[in-house]
Amino acid sequence: MGFKLTYSDGQADDYDKSTQWAVEDGVLKMGREAGKWTVLVSPSHWATIEVSQDEDASKDQPADDEDERDEDTSRDRDHDEDNDHDEDDDHDEDH
């Protein structure tokens, strides 16, 4: 997973998934291998870390809100079908 690092001065840099990182006591540690850090960034020098999803994972799995929308749509269809059956029953009673 890649990430975007925004520094406290507003500058931002993107890092690819080959860069490992960790935050310990506010210090951002980065390097090619976890535990073998080559860059340390003071807590006063960085502001945010935005982690991006893997491209492959995002293609395979829908976002959380997509699941909810699909479920709501399915419920709406079921409700509409129930209403259609009720209307048919009303017409049968009239005859």
End-to-end CA separation in angstroms for the chain: 66
Q: What is the mean pLDDT of residues 72-78?
A: 49
Rg (the chain; Cα; Å): 26
- CATH fold of 1-60 reads SH3 type barrels. (2.30.30)
For residue 65, pLDDT over 90 is answered with no
How many CA atoms, within 13 angstroms, populate the side-chain half-sphere of residue 18? 1
At 21-60, the pLDDT tens digits run: 999 999 999 999 999 999 999 999 999 999 987 655 444 4
Residue 32 identity: R
| Domain map (residue ranges) of the chain | 1-60, 62-95
Single out the residue of 33, 54, 23, 37 nearest to residue 5, CA to CA: 23
